Amino acid sequence: AEVVLSDEFSPPPRQATLDAEFQKALQVEKDLYQAVRDSEREMQDIVSLRKREEQVIILEKSVFETAREKAKENTVDESAVEIQEEKDENHVDYLTPFLQNVHDISAITLEEAEDARDECLKAMKERLLERANIIQCRLDEENSLLAKKQAAFQRNRDHVEGADDEFERFCAEAMFRIQILEQRLSQHEETALQKYANLDQKLRQDPRLTGLNAK
């Protein structure tokens, strides 16, 4: 190729210099072309990713919602057991087990009637106290476990990745279980006296304890 000089009096450049300049210009052109292609490819990847994200809608529940659901599942079985126990109490003969020492049920004495009534009420009281103790023990365990977890978390300031989320989830679940147990204990305490009074009234009206009416 013919080289045109801006200064006709300047000596013509050497062929090696021209080749070097040509190769440099060619490399710059290749680099620019590759940069454009990389930019286009990156843009295509971004567009493709955005389309996939729009097509797949993921609804993530909050930590507290997840915790409440898990804790609620853990209390369903226990509530079902308590409901079944109450049904059994309503259908099972509450008095017969305490009439074993009565010599003649058709001629029950005042002392025998009082003993049967007292033993029946005592058994009811023990069941109510036992249930309250079970709920209270579980409540104490949950509070103790939560306190230990919080103390351990405070001691270990250098947490691994994801530890904060795990701790937050644990606390949310524990607090929900504690709330449920507190509600159950409060409800049990409110209904225990009424159940005891209802049984006492049923015993006084039970025809098998006619001796009480003669008192």
pLDDT digits (tens, 9 = 90+) for 8-48: 555 666 677 767 776 777 777 777 777 777 777 777 777 67
d(CA 129, CA 133): 6
DSSP per-residue letters across 56-104: S---PPPHHHHHHHHHHHHHHHHHHHHHHHHHHHHHS-SSGGG-TT-S-
**Cα separation values, 77 from 161, 172, 188, Å:** 34, 20, 17
Residues 97 and 122: beta-carbon distance below 8 Å:
no
**Residue 189 belongs to what H/E stretch?**
helix 163-205
d(CA 30, CA 104): 114
Region 103-123: mean pLDDT is 90
What pLDDT is attached to residue 55?
58
- Helices then strands, each counted (H, E), the chain: 5, 0
Give percent above pLDDT 90 in the chain: 32
Question: How confident is the prediction for the chain on average, in pLDDT?
Answer: 77
pLDDT exceeds 80 at position 177: yes
Reported pTM? 0.56
Confidence of residue 88 (pLDDT cuts 50, 70, 90): low
- List Cβ<8 Å contacts ≥24 apart for 188-197: 188/128, 188/131, 188/132, 188/135, 189/132, 192/128, 192/132, 195/124, 195/128, 196/121, 196/124, 196/125, 196/128
